[in-house]
Structures are given as C-alpha cells and as structure tokens.
Amino acid sequence: MDHLEDKRIVDLYAKFSAKTASASELEAFNAFLRTAGAEQRLFGLLETDYQLSDHHRKEINELRARQIFEKIVSLPQRNHQTRKLWLRIAGVAAAASIIVFSIVIKNKSFHPEGNPISSISAAQDIAPGKNTATLTLASGRKIVLSEAISGALASESGVRISKTADGEITYEILNSSSAQDAGLNTLSTHRGETYKVKLPDGSLVWLNAASSLTYPSSFVKSKSRKVVLDGEAYFEIEKDEQHPFIVGSDGQEVTVLGTHFNIKAYKEEAGVVTTLVEGSVRVDFQTATWGDKGKVKYTDDIRLSPGQQSSLKDESMRISQANLKESTAWKDGDFIFTEKGIDRIMRDIARWYNIEVIYEGSIPTGAFSGNVSRSKNISQVLQALEATKLVHFKLQGRRVYVTK
C-alpha cells in the first residue's frame, strides 16, 4: 500500500475511535479489518508513522465497542450488516488495547487528568536498569563489570577472561592441560541489571535482572557442559554432539546439543518456564506419585519442539504453545504482556527497576496486554498501565503503591 492508503486507514481508525464515522466509513474500516494481518498493520501505522492526536488515543474496550455499536444501530443499515460489523469490532477490542498500551508509552505529551504518576518530577522518577553484572572468579575475586575497562580481566587455570569493547565477557583457553583444572565462575545480576556473556565453548547467554549463572571457566575436562541458573536467562548454544549442554535450575535440567531457548526460574514465580525458540531440548524434572508407602519421588522427562513451552509447578509438568515474542522480549529490550494479571506484570517491573511493590487493598483484577520498552523511566511504564483505568499507582522513593 502507498502513503495515501496508509493515511486513509489511520483516518478511518480515528473516526471509528471518536464515534464520528459514517455508515460507509464504518463499512470501509470493517473491510480493512477483515484483511490478513490488519490489526498488526494498523498497530505499526499508529505506532511508528504518525503522531496521534487526543481522539486517536481513546481506549477501545467492550464499553467503547458497545457505544459504537449503538451508533451503528441508529444508522440506516441492513440488520445482517450491523451484526457482522459489531462482531468484528468486539473481536478486535483486545488487539486495540495493545495499540493503546504501546502508544501511550511513546507519546510523551499524554497526561491523564489526576494521574499522580504523570506529575512526578524528574528527580523522583526511576531510571531503567543498566548493562552490568558481577563476575565472581574461582579464586573468590569479584569484578563489577560496568567498572572494568575493556581487555583482559583475569587469567586463571590456563584460561584468560576478557571484556570486549561492546561489554561482552569472553573466555580463551591459553593452556589446555592447565584448563582441565578450571574452577567455577559465577555471573550475577542484581535487580535492575542485565548482562551478556560468551561461555568458554562459545555459547552466548543473556542474563536477566536478579539472576545468576554458575559455570566452569573451561569445559575441556568435562564430558558435558553443565551450568546452573537461578533466575532468567536466554541461551544460544554452540552445537557439540559429543558434549551436551545442560542447564540446571530449580527442580529440572534442560539438556541440548545446539539450540536457542529461554528459562525463567525465579523462586517468587509460580514455577519454572522453559521456552524453545529453535532446535530441540529434553527437560528432566523431579516429580512424584503416591504409592502404598506414601509419596514417591522420581525423575521424568519431556521433549520440546520449537515454539513449545514447558511449565514445571509443584512437581507437575505442562506443555503448551509459547508466545515466543513475549517470552524473549526482555532480551531485546522490551516488556511484552499478553492477558497477564497486574501482579505478574509488577514482578517483572520490580526486578528491572529495583523497586518494592505494595498493594493497598486487594490486588486489582483484569488482564493486561501491551508492549513497553524497558528503556523508559518507570513513570512512563506505570502511566501506560494506568491508562487502562483498571489500576492506579503512587510512587514514593523506590516503593510503588498499587490500588484499584
């Protein structure tokens, strides 16, 4: 489509949102929504190509859809056309909420009336997390990586550890015989930190906030390449059929030869979630059954195919189709939420912005969907959530109070 067609689509959306569209304009907008990839295309046009005015930013939810439906009913149309259009409008309500969520974040002039988040000063605001971590060597020496200059950081047991110009940690074998006695290194992030490391075998690992990865400084001696994860990390594993790569986390082990996958294993979450992007993995996990002598624990395993996700909770494993963009968004600098409760969302926000979340009264209900950059200050993220009218926030120091 050309620029004029893009503009026509946005204009139709604006009139649809403002309840000023004529019957023919509503039919034209409905025809566009029936085309393949319509919601995604509309999202892209609104988010990247246009500066939206106030009437573009209005939230489309079930109430708004019903208001538009009532206007359609009042127009001289045939009944079957009205019903068909109403169903389509109701069907895109959830998709439209994603548009609003993202647009609010990127439009700095949007200030909901009476919103305490939008009125805080720059001095009170909380900046996003940063690219840093602490590397603990086998000797016990600790290196804060954001403070270390590029170049060689240490040499231990025949292995040289360096920091590249773009901040990546790398390992280089200098002496194979000495490297066989390599000790364990631990890369750890606090809340509000993230980091990327190239392991001794060349595999890449992105470590999310409040996480740690323990691994040997060399895999020369090992029959397998085993690491231990606490928290969340994304892995791109170098293929080595003779030396399988194993990730141990709370209650499970993931074994791979060469693949891309994400593991989320925070203790405060409901369970351990493993998402496979490409390749194949085997997940061994601890489970239990009840026998004549009571509860009997044993090890079971499942295999994941690309696009699948396993969830281990209370010694029970479940496999489902994954939302890959959502599961790996943090690695690419975004939060993506699809039909998630506010408590689930705020746990991720708390880890990234290093805040304490306090609920005043019951936890607000409702499912939130949206796409928010992790590079934004916390006020902009909370402002986007408040725009849904389902939740409100008050920021005091590093505490965020949440109310309905």
Residue 178 banded pLDDT, cuts 50, 70, 90: low
Angstrom distance (rounded) from CA 404 to CA 362 = 8
Residues 311-329 pLDDT 10s: 999 888 999 999 999 999 9
What is the average per-residue pLDDT within 294-303?
A: 82
Exposure class string for 186-205: b at 16+ Cβ within 10 A, else e: bbbbebbbbbbbbbbbebeb
Confidence of residue 75 (pLDDT cuts 50, 70, 90): very low
pLDDT value at residue 2: 65
Average pLDDT along the chain: 79
pLDDT at 58: 41
For CA atoms 331, 337, 340, 341, the dihedral sign is positive
Per residue in 258-283, pLDDT tens? 899 999 999 999 899 999 999 999 99
CA 110 to CA 108: how far, in whole Å? 6
Is 295's pLDDT higher than 50?
Answer: yes
- Report pTM: 0.70
Give the pLDDT band (50/70/90) at residue 200.
confident
Which residue in the block uniquely carries the two structure tokens 């594993």?
A: 237
Q: What residues does 184 pair with on adjacent strands? A: 216
Question: How far is residue 200's CA from residue 274's CA, in Å, rounded to a whole number?
Answer: 23
Structure tokens at 64: 């708004």
Distant-in-sequence, close-in-space partners of 256: CB < 8 Å, separation ≥ 6? 235, 237, 244, 245, 246, 247, 279, 280, 281, 282
Kindly report the number of other CB atoms within 10 A of residue 104's CB atom: 24
d(CA 161, CA 36): 50
